[in-house]
C-alpha cells in the first residue's frame, strides 16, 4: 500500500514537473517571438518580431529582427522610398524599460512604375534591429505599433501590434534564429575602409547634388544611393541624373526634389550607399554649397581626342594667329632652293615648337589646378605680366618682319630674335611656340569640348588631350614635313615677298597695340598710353635709321592717317553703332540668384561670360549680339541680360563656368521658364542659334 502511495506521489510530482517545464518552454518561446502577425483586411502581408537571445550586458543591448513576408508582386519600402511610397515605421513609445531601437536597412531593390522610381523589397525580408534596454535586471515590455505600406498597382497602409514581455537574463541564444539574423546583417551596408567620399557638392540653383567616391580597389559596376540622415532630408527624392566612373573615382549626379517645399542640402548630413561587385558599403558625408563640375561621359574619350585634333587644326585660321601666317609664308618661300631633308627638319622643328608650347600650357594649368587656382583656356591673359611679355614679343616680331633691326647669329644676346627671321631650326621652333601663344585668346569649334574634358581629367589625360590639340595645330607644318614638294610649288622669293612681310609685320604690330590696350584693365590708362607712345617713338627712330627720312615721313603719315581716319569714320557712323551699346544699362552682373529670380518672374535670361582679351567673344558681340534681330530681342522687357566678366580672375565667374563644365570663354547660356536648367550655346554664335534658344527657353511666348 505504501509503495502504491509513493508511486502515486512520484507520478504526480513527475507530471507536475513536466507540466511546469512545458509551461516554462512555452513562456520562453512566447517571449522571444511574436509569432506571425496578419491583418484579415490585407492577407498578402505577414510579419513577426523575433529576438535572437544575443545580448551585451555592458552596452545594455539585445539583438533581434523584423521579418516581413510579402506574397506575389507586393512590395514594401526602404527608409527613403524614392519618388513614392511610405517607409515602414514602428512606434515604440508605449514600451517599458526600452530607451531606443536601432533599425538596420538591407540594401533595397529599385522599382519603376509609370515612370516613378521607388526603392524597397519584395518577398521575405529581415530588418535587423538592436534594442537598447534601460535596466538589464528588469523585465522589458514591448508594446509597439508597426505601420507598414505595401503596394502593387495599389497601396495599402496597415498597422500591426507588436507585444512582447521578457526578462533579459532569461533569454537564450537560438542557433537557427542567429543564422537568420547573421544573413540579414550581411545584407546591410556598412562603412568600408576602401571607400572615401571625396566630394558632396550641392547646387541650389540647379537643384543638383554631385557625389564623388573613391574606391582604392577600383570600380566594376557601382550602384550608388543617396538619402538624408535626418527625417527632413529623408523625405527628399534623389533622382539619378548621371554616373561617370573614371579609374578609382566615380562621379554621381542627382536631381533633388520634394513634395514638401524647397530643398536645402547645404550643411546637411547624407547617407551614401554603394553596391558593387563584392562590395556593399555605406558612408556618411555632409553636403556643401559649391559649383558643380559636370564631367563628360567617359565613353566619349575617343571623340574628345578627335575634337582636340579638329580644334587645333581650326586654330590655324582663327584671327588670333593670322599675324603668324606671314612668318609661315616666309619660311615656306625661303625653303626653296634647299634640300628636302632640310625642309623636313625645319617644319618638324616648327611642329615641335607647337607641341612644346602646348605641353608648357598643360603644365601651367596643372600647377594652377593643384594649387586651387582658377584654370581655363586663355587664363594666362588675366595676368598683366603675361600681357606685358606678349606686347614686347609681338612688337619685336613685327619690327623684325618690317626689317627695323638686323641681328647676327653670332650674337648670343640676339640669337632667339635672329632665329625668327632666318631658316635655322631654332627659328622655326620659336615660330611654332609663338603661334600657340597667340592662339590662346581664341576659341574654336570643337576646342571647348576638348579643353573642358582635359581640364577636368587626370594628369595623363590632360597632357594627352593637349598633345592632340598640338598635333592638330601642327598638322599643316607636318604635311609640309611629310611632303616637302609642297613648299617647292610656291613662287620664288621676290619683291612680292617683301610686300607680304610688310603687311603681316603691320598686322603683328596691330596685335601689339591690341595687347597693350588690354593692359588698361590692370594699369592706369595714362601709363598704358605713355608706354604706347614710347614704343611708337622707338619704332620711328628705327625706321629713320634703317630706311631713311622718306620712310619715316611715310610711316608717320600713314600712322596719323589711320588714326585720324578711324576717328573720322567713328564720328560719321556713331549714330549707327554707338546707340546699340548701353552695356552699363542693359547688362546686369552675373549671379545664380539673379538668374533664379528672373526665371521665377517668367523672364528669359541671356548670360554672356566674356573677357576683354577673348577675340572670339568680341566676334560674337560685334557679329551677333550687337546686331539686329538679336539685339532688339535681348532688349525686350521679357528678357534679362547678365554678363560675367572674366577679364580679371573672378571666383564667382570661374565657379559658374565650372558648374557647366566649361573652362574658357566665350560661354553663353539661355535660361527661362521652359528651361530652368539652361540651354548652353555653341562657341560661335549665329542669329538663328540665339533666337531659337530664347524661343525655346520662353516656352514659345517669345518669337
Grid cell, residue 679, equals 540651354
| CA distances from residue 101 to 443, 606, 688 in whole angstroms, order as listed | 60, 54, 63
How far apart are alpha carbons 688 and 694 in whole angstroms?
Answer: 10
179: Cβ contacts below 8 Å, ≥ 6 apart: none
Cα–Cα distance between 666 and 683 in angstroms, integer? 6
Cβ(204)–Cβ(258) below 8 Å: no
Q: Tell me how long the chain is.
A: 703
HSE at residue 421, side-chain half, CA atoms within 13 A, is: 21
All 3 cell numbers of residue 548? 631713311
Query: What DSSP element (H or E) covers 530?
Result: helix 525-547
How far is CA 139 from each of CA 39, 102, 136, 544, rounded to the nearest angstrom? 28, 20, 8, 110
User: What backbone phi and psi angles, to 5 degrees, belong to 434?
Assistant: -65, -40
Instruction: Indicate the pairing of strand 639-645 with strand 45-56.
Output: unpaired
Residue closest to 324 by CA, chosen among 348, 350, 342: 350
Cis peptide before 575 (omega within 30 of 0): no
CATH topology of domain 195-289: Immunoglobulin-like (2.60.40)
Other Cβ atoms within 10 Å of 259 Cβ, number: 9
Residue 40: the pLDDT is 87
C-alpha angle with apex 311: 309 to 316, nearest 5 degrees? 100
Q: How many whole angstroms separate alpha carbon 88 and alpha carbon 75? A: 11
Q: Give the separation between CA 396 and CA 503, rounded to whole angstroms.
A: 15
Name the grid cell of 342.
Answer: 632640310
Q: Report the C-alpha gap between 665 and 672 in whole angstroms.
A: 22
| Residues paired with 131 in a beta bridge | 62, 101
Radius of gyration of the chain (CA): 38
Do β-strands 604-610 and 639-645 pair in parallel, antiparallel, or remain unpaired? parallel
d(CA 644, CA 646): 6
Q: Which long-range contacts (CB under 8 A, 24 or more apart) does 265-268 make?
A: 265/202, 265/204, 265/209, 265/233, 265/236, 265/289, 266/202, 266/204, 268/228, 268/229, 268/230, 268/233
Which residues have C-beta within 8 Å of that of residue 339, sequence separation ≥ 6?
Answer: none
Secondary structure of 440-487 in the HEC alphabet? Answer: CCCCCCCHHHHHHHHHCCCHHHHHHHHHHHHHHHCHHHHHHHHCCHHH
DSSP 407: -
DSSP tag of 491: P
**Beta carbons of 417 and 396 less than 8 angstroms apart:** yes
Burial state string for 10-49 with b = 16 or more CB within 10 A and e = fewer than 16:
eeeeeeeeeeeeeeeeeeeeebbbbeebbeeeeebbbbbb
Which architecture characterizes domain 30-186 according to CATH?
A: Sandwich (2.60)
Sequence-distant (6+) residues with CB within 8 A of 165 are: 31, 139, 140, 141, 142
Q: Do domains 30-186 and 583-698 have the same CATH topology?
A: no
SS3 call for 147: strand
| Cell 628705327, residue located | 542
Bridge partners, 148 (sequence order): 158
Q: What are the grid coordinates assigned to 311, written together? A: 580644334
Buried b (16+ CB within 10 A) or exposed e, 522-553: beeeeebeeebeebeeebbebbbeeeeeebbe
Task: Show me where the domains of the chain are located.
Answer: 30-186, 195-289, 300-506, 583-698
Beta bridge partners of 209: 202, 254
Query: Could you give the CA distance from residue 420 to residue 417 in angstroms, rounded to a whole number?
Result: 6
Q: Which residue reads 566630394 in cell numbers?
A: 199
- Give the helix/strand (H/E) hosting 90: strand 89-91
What's the CA gap between 139 and 120, in Å, rounded? 35
The H or E element containing residue 503 is: helix 495-518
Omega before residue 33 within 30° of 0, cis? no
pLDDT means per 10 residues, the chain with 703 residues, are 45 43 41 86 93 92 95 92 87 94 94 81 95 94 94 89 92 90 93 89 85 86 90 82 81 84 85 90 88 53 75 68 58 60 78 84 71 53 64 68 52 41 66 69 53 63 81 81 67 58 67 69 72 73 64 57 53 48 65 87 90 77 84 88 83 78 81 85 86 86 74
Give the CATH number of domain 583-698: 3.40.30.10
CA proximity to 331, closest of 414, 422, 419: 422
On whether the CB atoms of residues 643 and 588 are closer than 8 A, the answer is yes
Distances (CA, A) of 444 to 152, 311, 366, 620, 666: 54, 6, 22, 12, 10
Amino acid at each position: 500500500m505504501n509503495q502504491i502511495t509513493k508511486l502515486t506521489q512520484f507520478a504526480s510530482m513527475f507530471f507536475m514537473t513536466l507540466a511546469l517545464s512545458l509551461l516554462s518552454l512555452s513562456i520562453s518561446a512566447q517571449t522571444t517571438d511574436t509569432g506571425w502577425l496578419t491583418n484579415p483586411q490585407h492577407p498578402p502581408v505577414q510579419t513577426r518580431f523575433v529576438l535572437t537571445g544575443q545580448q551585451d550586458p555592458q552596452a545594455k543591448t539585445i539583438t533581434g529582427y523584423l521579418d516581413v513576408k510579402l506574397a506575389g508582386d507586393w512590395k514594401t519600402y526602404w527608409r527613403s522610398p524614392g519618388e513614392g511610397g511610405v517607409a515602414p515605421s514602428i512606434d515604440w513609445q508605449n514600451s517599458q524599460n526600452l530607451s531606443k531601437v536601432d533599425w538596420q536597412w538591407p540594401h533595397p531593390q529599385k522599382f519603376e512604375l509609370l515612370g516613378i522610381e521607388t526603392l524597397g523589397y519584395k518577398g521575405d525580408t529581415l530588418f535587423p534591429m538592436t534594442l537598447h534596454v534601460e535596466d538589464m535586471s528588469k523585465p522589458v515590455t514591448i508594446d509597439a505599433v508597426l505601420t507598414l505600406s505595401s503596394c502593387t498597382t495599389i497601396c495599402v497602409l496597415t498597422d500591426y501590434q507588436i507585444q512582447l514581455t521578457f526578462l533579459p537574463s532569461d533569454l537564450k541564444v537560438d542557433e537557427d534564429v542567429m543564422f537568420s539574423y547573421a544573413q540579414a546583417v550581411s545584407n546591410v551596408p556598412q562603412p568600408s575602409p576602401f571607400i572615401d567620399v571625396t566630394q558632396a557638392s550641392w547646387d541650389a540653383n540647379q537643384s543638383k547634388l554631385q557625389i564623388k567616391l573613391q574606391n582604392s580597389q577600383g570600380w566594376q559596376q557601382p550602384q550608388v544611393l543617396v538619402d538624408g540622415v535626418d527625417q527632413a532630408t529623408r523625405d527628399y527624392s534623389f533622382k539619378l541624373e548621371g554616373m561617370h566612373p573614371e579609374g578609382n573615382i566615380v562621379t554621381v549626379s542627382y536631381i533633388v526634389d520634394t513634395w514638401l517645399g524647397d530643398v536645402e542640402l547645404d550643411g546637411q548630413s547624407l547617407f551614401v550607399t554603394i553596391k558593387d561587385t563584392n562590395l556593399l558599403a555605406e558612408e556618411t558625408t555632409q553636403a556643401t554649397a559649391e559649383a558643380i563640375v559636370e564631367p563628360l561621359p567617359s565613353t566619349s574619350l575617343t571623340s574628345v581626342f578627335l575634337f582636340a585634333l579638329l580644334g587645333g587644326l581650326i586654330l590655324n585660321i582663327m584671327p588670333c594667329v593670322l599675324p603668324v601666317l606671314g612668318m609661315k609664308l616666309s619660311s615656306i618661300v625661303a625653303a626653296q632652293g634647299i634640300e628636302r631633308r632640310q625642309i623636313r627638319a625645319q617644319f618638324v622643328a616648327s611642329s615641335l615648337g607647337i607641341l612644346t608650347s602646348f605641353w608648357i600650357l598643360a603644365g601651367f594649368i596643372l600647377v594652377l589646378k593643384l594649387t586651387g587656382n582658377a584654370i581655363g583656356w586663355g587664363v594666362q591673359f588675366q595676368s598683366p605680366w603675361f600681357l606685358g611679355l606678349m606686347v614686347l614679343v609681338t612688337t619685336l616680331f613685327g619690327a623684325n618682319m618690317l626689317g627695323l633691326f638686323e641681328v647676327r647669329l653670332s650674337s648670343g644676346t640676339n640669337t632667339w630674335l635672329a632665329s625668327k627671321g632666318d631658316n635655322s631650326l631654332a627659328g622655326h621652333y620659336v615660330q611654332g611656340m609663338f603661334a600657340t601663344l597667340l592662339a590662346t585668346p581664341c576659341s574654336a569649334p570643337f576646342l571647348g569640348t576638348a579643353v573642358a574634358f582635359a581640364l577636368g581629367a587626370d594628369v595623363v589625360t590632360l597632357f594627352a588631350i593637349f598633345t592632340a590639340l598640338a598635333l592638330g595645330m601642327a598638322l599643316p607644318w607636318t604635311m609640309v614635313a611629310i611632303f616637302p614638294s609642297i613648299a617647292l610649288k610656291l613662287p620664288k622669293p621676290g619683291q612680292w615677298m617683301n610686300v607680304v612681310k610688310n603687311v603681316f609685320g603691320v598686322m603683328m604690330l596691330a596685335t601689339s597695340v591690341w595687347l597693350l590696350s588690354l593692359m588698361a584693365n590692370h594699369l592706369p590708362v595714362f601709363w598704358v598710353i605713355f608706354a604706347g607712345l614710347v614704343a611708337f617713338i622707338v619704332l620711328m627712330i628705327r625706321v629713320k635709321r634703317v630706311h631713311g627720312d622718306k620712310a619715316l615721313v611715310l610711316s608717320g603719315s600713314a600712322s596719323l592717317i589711320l588714326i585720324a581716319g578711324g576717328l573720322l569714320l567713328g564720328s560719321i557712323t556713331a549714330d549707327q553703332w554707338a546707340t546699340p551699346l548701353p552695356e552699363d544699362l542693359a547688362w546686369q552682373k552675373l549671379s545664380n540668384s539673379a538668374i533664379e529670380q528672373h526665371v521665377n518672374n517668367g523672364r528669359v535670361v541671356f548670360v554672356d561670360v566674356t573677357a576683354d582679351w577673348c577675340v572670339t567673344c568680341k566676334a560674337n558681340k560685334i557679329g551677333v549680339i550687337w546686331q539686329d534681330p538679336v539685339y532688339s530681342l535681348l532688349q525686350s522687357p521679357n528678357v534679362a541680360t547678365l554678363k560675367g566678366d572674366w577679364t580679371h580672375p573672378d571666383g564667382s565667374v570661374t565657379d559658374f563656368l565650372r558648374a557647366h563644365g566649361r573652362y574658357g570663354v566665350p560661354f553663353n547660356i539661355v535660361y527661362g521658364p521652359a528651361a530652368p536648367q539652361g540651354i548652353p550655346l555653341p562657341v560661335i554664335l549665329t542669329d538663328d542659334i540665339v533666337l531659337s534658344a530664347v524661343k525655346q527657353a520662353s516656352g514659345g511666348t517669345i518669337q
